[in-house]
Structures are given as structure tokens and as C-alpha cells.
Amino acid sequence: MEVSEIITIIREDYLDDTFDGWETATAEEKADQFLWSDKALLRYLTEAQRQACNRTDFLYDDTSGLGKITLKAGVRDYKINQKINVIEEVIFDASKKLTHISKEERDRYQNDWRNSSVSVTNSTPYYVIRGRKLFVYPMPQSEDDGKKLQLSIWHQPVDPIGSVSDELSIPEEYHRDLIWWMLYEAYSKQDADGYDKGKGMDYLAQFNNAFGDYVPSEVRLNQLQEPEGLRTRPVNYIAPSKDRNEWYG
């Protein structure tokens, strides 16, 4: 569905915010007669996509710059792009997979990690995530300098919707449901003619019915920090494995 089509649907079918010839009117004419500007509706649509991607992991990428990290000798920690929701895999130098472990596992099974001088290139590397930083072990050495980590990620839309000619990021079958969030925002506008809390909350409920409830930041952060095998178990759970020490070669 085109962005222009979404704008038309919401104006004509829900907000009744149109006038004769509005689709070809000048910016000045629109500003005089619209209760909700095109700029505002595009802003609502941008947030609708972000909210949808908070609730459902729609956008996957394993090649983009969002998930690319350049190693530096002597630097263990690297910022994770704010638009990344989940990291599925980390590949070093296009060939070697890093193992994701928890901080507790690192401290229990590799308690001398602070003193390790082996390079990432010549080891079986792993990583820990704390907050929105990815920590690489062992610490990159001179022979690792400039080499890349490529992350396979689920992420939020990269760019805001700034024009009716822009393309939406999520699959087309979900485009129509974005309208519910836009209506929630529209009726939350602090304006005597536009504000209607009851309508707004009803439309928010429809949006949540389509995409699910909002995922709190604490839960999203936990999805980043905890290795996949621990995400559905208590935080302090560590699966037994007689081969675990082989990770740290």
C-alpha cells in the first residue's frame, strides 16, 4: 500500500478532514483547511511503524551497516545501534561465528578473561551484551585491528516517513493496520476540535489487537543481553554442558 493511499484513507474514511480539491491543493491551502497536516500524519505513520516493530520482529538484515562493527586493537566494548531489537548471530571476518554467553557464564567458566592476550583471529571467540554494548572476548589484538563483525539482526525502520512517495518498511499485508495507531495519535492531539480520548483509546486497542501489546524496554534489553537458550528461562539459568570450556579455546 502506498503512503499516499494511507493518507487518503485516514482523511476520507476516518477523520473527515478533507475539502474539495484537497489532493491537488497547495501547501498554503492545506495549512488553512486541514485539522491534521500531512506532516503530522506522516509523523504518526513513522511512529506506527516503529510501534509495530517493537511488538513484532518484522525487519531482518544480515548485511547492513546497522549491524556492522569494526574491531580496534585493545578495545573490548562496542556500541549497538539503537535501532537493533534482537541480535541472532555475530560473524567475525566473514567466516567465524562468535558464541553469545551471559555475563554469569563468562565469570563462571572463564574467570581469567581480563588477562587473556590471545587474539580473536586465533581463538574461539565469544561475546557478552550488557546494556546496549557488545563486549568481545578475547580482547582484540593488533592482528584483529580493522576486521569486521557482521551482526544478523531484527531491527526498527531505519528512516522516518517524510513524504507520501516514501516506501513503508514492514510487509504490505500489515500496512492497513498502521492506520489504527495514526488514529490514536490524531485523536490524542491537544486541540479542541481534534482531541477525543475515548476514540483514541479504542483505536489503540485495535492496533494492539493487530500487533500485540507494547514490549517494555526492560524486556527488549533482556532479549539483547540473554543468549537465545536463556530467554525463556530464569535469568540465572545455565544449561549444563560438559563441552562448555571448548567455547573459549
**The residue to which cell 563486549 is assigned:** 135
Which amino acid, 90? V
> Alpha-carbon distance 49 to 178, whole Å?
7
Which amino acid, 231? R
Closest listed residue to residue 97, CA positions, set 171, 150, 40: 150
- Using 70 as the pLDDT threshold, list the residues of the chain that sit under it: 192, 229-249
> Alpha-carbon distance 77 to 87, whole Å?
16
> Alpha-carbon distance 106 to 173, whole Å?
43
- How many other CB atoms are there within 10 angstroms of residue 112's CB atom? 7
Looking at residue 237, what is its pLDDT? 34
pLDDT digits (tens, 9 = 90+) for 124-138: 999 999 999 999 999
Report the run of H or E that residue 27 belongs to, with start and end: helix 27-33
What does each C-alpha distance from 220 to 47, 93, 102, 132, 155 come to in angstroms? Answer: 17, 28, 16, 11, 11
| Alpha-carbon torsion (228, 229, 231, 236), positive or negative | negative
The three cell numbers of residue 36 are 491534521
Looking at residue 244, what is its pLDDT? 42
Looking at residue 146, what is its pLDDT? 97
- Residue 151 CB-density burial (10 A; 0-12 exposed, 13-18 middle, 19+ buried): buried
β-bridge partners, 173: none
